[in-house]
Amino acid sequence: MKQTPLTETNLVAHELTGLRVRITRSSDPTLSELEGQVSFETKNTLSILSGSRLSIVPKASSEFAFALPGGSEVIIEGKLLQVRPEDRVKRGIGNWQ
């Protein structure tokens, strides 16, 4: 099965684990500007590994900047990602636009 390349327009329909991410806004000031790699994802949280520190970040109250393989960055409101990861990927891009 051929995988669709990750782009700015289809990021919400892709697997986020392994992507570089930066928190651009959070209701928790200790999480603001945290940078790292997505290590795990649930419906309501992203687990971000930054150095040796693992932070659990709520999606609903945060905004994320994801680094794409081509070097660009996409900013996404966490509420858009608040779906079980497997359901979001199954749904596909057509249902997110």
Q: What is the pLDDT of residues 74-94, one digit of tens each?
A: 999 999 999 888 887 777 655
C-alpha 93/C-alpha 47 separation (Å) is 23
Residue 36 lies in a domain: yes
Domain that includes residue 18, residue range: 11-85
Find the CATH number of the domain harbouring 66: 2.30.30.210
Residue 94 lies in a domain: no
The model's pTM: 0.85
Is the separation of the CB atoms in 88 and 12 below 8 Å? yes
Q: What is the pLDDT of residues 30-74, one digit of tens each?
A: 998 899 999 999 999 999 999 999 999 999 999 999 999 888 999
Q: Evaluate if residue 95 carries a pLDDT over 90.
A: no
Exposed, middle or buried: residue 48 (CB in 10 Å: 0-12, 13-18, 19+)? buried
Q: What percent of the chain has pLDDT over 90?
A: 61
Residue 51 lies in a domain: yes
Task: Count structural domains, the chain.
Answer: 1
Residue 21 lies in a domain: yes
Structure tokens at 35: 């940078």
